Amino acid sequence: MFCDQCGAPLQPGQQRCARCGKEVIGRIEAVYVQKNRVQEHVRLLAILWMAYSALNVVGGIILVVISNTLFGRFSQAGPPPEVTSWLRPFLTVIGCLVLAKAAGGLIAGWGLLQREPWGRILTLVVGFISLFNIPIGTALGVYTLWVLLPARSDEEYRAFSQAQAA
């Protein structure tokens, strides 16, 4: 419980506020603050996004390296030039898209860990995109939507973010 004049914390059995000296009216009981749903899940969600994005970084780098070595211009043992003329750029673009999605996931996870106001929105966007990555991305996307999408989650996250900043 806190003093209603200065906001200082009060201990059970205390008769006067230690900071301002105001007399405490009524009985002081120990009050336990219960975390809201967003507070309970946001740290885990941030860690999961960072781990999943790290796996995507590895996959994107492997795809870009394979497309440029296996289908490179100097590869004599590879497929015919008609195939490599479109397959190499196509796989490179796909690899770059995977890396961009991984960067978005890493930034979203970091934003959630730091309780940034934009972290919730970015995580929701990346969560929607990851719904198409079956099975792990879909599971993480559904968990993200369950934690951050409801209207009440927006209020809880804003309050949590502002309390962290203060």
Domain ranges of the chain: 1-32, 37-165
* Beta carbons within 10 angstroms of residue 144's beta carbon: 25
- Burial of 151-164, coded b for 16+ CB within 10 Å and e otherwise, reads eebeebbeebbeee
Element (H, E) at 58: helix 37-70
**Which tens digits make up the pLDDT trace of 108-134?**
999 999 999 999 999 999 999 999 999
- Confidence label for 31 from pLDDT (cuts 50, 70 and 90): very low
Distances (CA, A) of 108 to 45, 102, 105, 133, 141: 10, 10, 5, 17, 13
Q: pTM to 2 decimals?
A: 0.73
Which amino acid, one-letter code, is at 98?
V
23 φ/ψ angles, rounded to the nearest 5 degrees: -70, 135
